[in-house]
Structure 1
């Protein structure tokens, strides 16, 4: 049976649905108002707020002609990113529990308290997380393992928890964005059409100065706020750890294993899973845990009973179930972000912002603002980098920039600011793992806000903004010997 021509026209119109500009602005205004209310009035009830925003968005789209089938497709397609994220998230929960039970985290706390100068602690914590994240290519793995241990060291040294968390997040973010094994470090050049290692070299021009400034800042903060923990208090903490755990070199095997597997370029999931299983074996063989006991710890988390409230609070964590808050938020925000992307809610707003790019400086600044905006509304650094890259690539091509200029700016703003937003997946995870709110550690996450500022400054000064032929590059937007005019 031949279908009527009107059906084909209707289906085509449904597939090509584009919301009107006023609809997009109303949805965004509602989102901003709702999130501000959640943060400042209701104590960050993020789940119900994001669910309400998604419901309002769906209602507006359906009332203005968007077929519900398209909305459903958008939600389903978001699962391609959501499911791998959830698997990693729950695995990190198991790693946290097993690392504590095996004595790995207590061992790091123990020797950190013994060896680290309080004044240099923040800078040392930043460097330790930077190295770990650079090796593993994952800020999440770093924050959930070494970061948790360093929070314990900072607590023992009577350091401000927000400062400690800021140093951890800064180091983890820098290492993640500079690692060739990081997801975002591969996604950004792929979207922008740049070579991976040209991209990493380009990031040194902004990330390098930013991390140096951050380390200087952490050193100053460390010596200014090194706390007043005395040797007696530290000795009591060390004694408590010794009484609960067998602290020997075997407890560091999970750390070494993660670094070795990362260097061998194992994917994140098997690396984390192997580390968790090895730590579980150590918990049984070294710490005397039973098999049912360690399985319960990997699911429900470790419960500490040292007699020190702060130590017990820090070590009583981990387990897959501890990730339910972040995991459930992940499902909601990824579905909402998928709707915003697939249904074109952001297209008109972002296109108008792209019109501001008259000079190289405004081009870079607009890219940074768009990336931060996307991090706020999509809550996913992956969506942020992909959408921002697709949107801004024509501008960089028009100005004949090298593709690594775009990919660098995508990471300078999209990757690092995701850790500063409470409802973003990265910010939600870091806050849950470290036990410090995003807005609490934000002022001390020096690298994460200095890096995008440097990117904008370099853009307006014209520094490290390369056009085709000005710098050797494996990939360009046009042949180097092309006669195509260069846009000023």
Structure 2
């Protein structure tokens, strides 16, 4: 008999009590005490360990599973570190600044809305940040919209469609990296499948914005914010089309299906070389205050352009920028491991299996479960590891690939976040763009259409990736 089968598990009523207490701690920590996600999950993990020990679970087993869980996150942590280093390198090399410049350069009044969406899509995808996109080119586009007479809720919708497209499917975004880790899905495989729902929803949104924006063809692009960004970027960086080489290298390697870490490493190396050639960045720190490439890799780009808006665009990245997410992954592991060790997850899933008689009901039920849990907590950094770790093993049992779970969670987490006013992301969207969440919802179809598509996929089975050479238990 294996070590796993010899382990004691808690009784059903004890499992239910642990789940109720665990959710209560998360809810109270987020909504009442406004504590950090890391502290909440670590506290919850300690409480779960104490409860498990009180119910007869050996502490050595708990500690061993916590260690095993954190060890399983090593690749995801390395990818997060690579993302941070990559962003810092692409900032100091001028790669991201030239993408911002070209993106804003192609603006025309009649195509303002779709181009706004596309520019935000490119920036969020290449830089891997929705928040950074909102606070930078997003703010600039809101200023341009005022000059054109374009309604602000419509502009905010276009910005959000672009910003959160990249946040959902960019390999540089911590959202898909986190979900990939908790669902045990290869990052690029999961991202490609996520495009099944997000891609069509994005295309429909762009067409809608193009048709809606035709009425503003007589306006003029410009404005103080727009002009300040363009002039500052051109004077602060030596812009050259060759600076677009790093993302081209990364995209080509991704298409060639090369491993994620070597792909990002190649993007870092190319960016570093271009930083030396075009921006004159030193390899090591100098006495004149010029930031070195290695410091940009570590702490992100810190150069001062003299313009606060542009600074907020480019002063980001670096290894240290990912420590928060890495800490969250570890905290989630500390919380989730005791639930698995004590058998709480197994007991919970047994009940779900009794209700879900087929893969369609199961997938739709998981979608609803995660959507509700995220809406209650308002934090997908909490809902991803908690729900993901609980249900990931169900999908293979029903003959479905775990990529389906990754897509479902991104649609009902990162995609839903801008529409939930009390969520951290929703509040940030409203405060940054100056538009309330409900007013921009009709003009950001991708955010809710991708959920609708996922629901249809779950109920019909169309587009669901099934496991090969394996029969479903249900």
TM over 0.5: yes
Superposed CA deviations along residues 319-354 of structure 1, whole A, max 9, x for unmatched, are: 111222222122111232233234322222232122
Matching of residue 119 in structure 1 with residue 113 in structure 2: yes
Q: Distance in 1 between matches of 2:156 and 2:91?
A: 19
Instruction: Show the 5 A alignment for 1:129-208.
Output: 143-144=128-129, 148=132, 152-158=136-142, 164-173=159-168, 204=196
Matching of residue 417 in structure 1 with residue 412 in structure 2: yes
- Structure 2 gaps, min length 5: 144-154, 285-291, 418-422
Matching of residue 27 in structure 1 with residue 22 in structure 2: no
Q: Which residue of 1 aligns with 2:342?
A: 343
Q: Which residue of 2 aligns with 1:251?
A: 243
Q: CA deviation at 1:281?
A: 2.0
Q: Distance in 1 between matches of 2:19 and 2:182?
A: 26
Superposed CA deviations along residues 378-432 of structure 1, whole A, max 9, x for unmatched, are: 95868966753533555x4xxxxxx45x65743441343353699xxxx999999
Superposed CA deviations along residues 89-110 of structure 1, whole A, max 9, x for unmatched, are: 1121111111111101110111
- Structure 1 gaps, min length 5: 1-7, 133-140, 397-402, 479-485
Q: Cα 1:373–1:325, aligned 2, differ >3 Å: closer, same or farther? A: same
Q: Which residue of 2 aligns with 1:136?
A: none
Q: Distance in 2 between matches of 1:431 and 1:248?
A: 37
Q: Distance in 2 between matches of 1:348 and 1:378?
A: 24
Q: Cα 1:448–1:383, aligned 2, differ >3 Å: closer, same or farther? A: farther
Q: CA deviation at 1:246?
A: 0.2
SS at match of 1:291: coil
Q: Cα 1:202–1:309, aligned 2, differ >3 Å: closer, same or farther? A: closer
Q: Distance in 1 between matches of 2:91 and 2:4?
A: 56
Q: Distance in 2 between matches of 1:287 and 1:55?
A: 49
TM-score scaled by length of structure 2: 0.73
Q: Which residue of 2 aligns with 1:477?
A: 471
TM-score scaled by length of structure 1: 0.71
Q: Distance in 2 between matches of 1:59 and 1:106?
A: 50
Question: Number of residues paired by the alignment?
Answer: 430
Superposed CA deviations along residues 36-58 of structure 1, whole A, max 9, x for unmatched, are: 23333333421211111001000
Q: Distance in 2 between matches of 1:77 and 1:156?
A: 46
Instruction: Answer whether contact 2:128 2:170 (CA < 8 A) is retained.
Output: no
Superposed CA deviations along residues 252-297 of structure 1, whole A, max 9, x for unmatched, are: 1211111122222221112112211221222122111111212111
Q: Distance in 2 between matches of 1:329 and 1:408?
A: 22
Q: Cα 1:109–1:142, aligned 2, differ >3 Å: closer, same or farther? A: closer
Q: CA deviation at 1:171?
A: 4.5
Matching of residue 306 in structure 1 with residue 300 in structure 2: no
Superposed CA deviations along residues 182-229 of structure 1, whole A, max 9, x for unmatched, are: 9989998999xxxx99x989984x556544444456668978999997
Instruction: Answer whether contact 2:345 2:390 (CA < 8 A) is retained.
Output: no
